[in-house]
Amino acid sequence: EVQLVESGGGLIQPGGSLRLSCVASGFTVSNRYMSWVRQAPGKGLEWVSVIRSVGTTAHADSVKGRFTISRDNSRNTLYLQMNSLRAEDTAVYYCARELFDREDGYNHGFDYWGQGVLVTVSS
Closest Cα to residue 49, out of 41, 38, 40?
38
Q: Is 48 left (phi over 0), alpha (psi -120 to 50) or beta?
A: alpha
- Position 35 contacts another protein (CB under 8 A): yes
Tell me which of 53, 99, 100, 120 binds another protein, using CB under 8 A.
Answer: 99
Check residue 60 for interaction with another protein (CB under 8 A).
yes
Question: Counting contacts by CB under 8 A, is residue 113 touching another protein?
Answer: yes
> Given candidates 12, 18, 22, 50, which one binds another protein under the rule CB under 8 A?
50
Q: Which residue, 5, 8, 14, is CA-closest to 89?
A: 14
CB of 74 to another protein, least distance (A): 26
Identify any residues that bridge with 53 across adjacent strands, giving them in sequence order.
none
Q: What one-character DSSP code corresponds to residue 33? A: -
Residues that bind another protein (CB under 8 A): 35, 44-47, 50, 58, 60-61, 94, 96, 99, 101, 107-111, 113-116
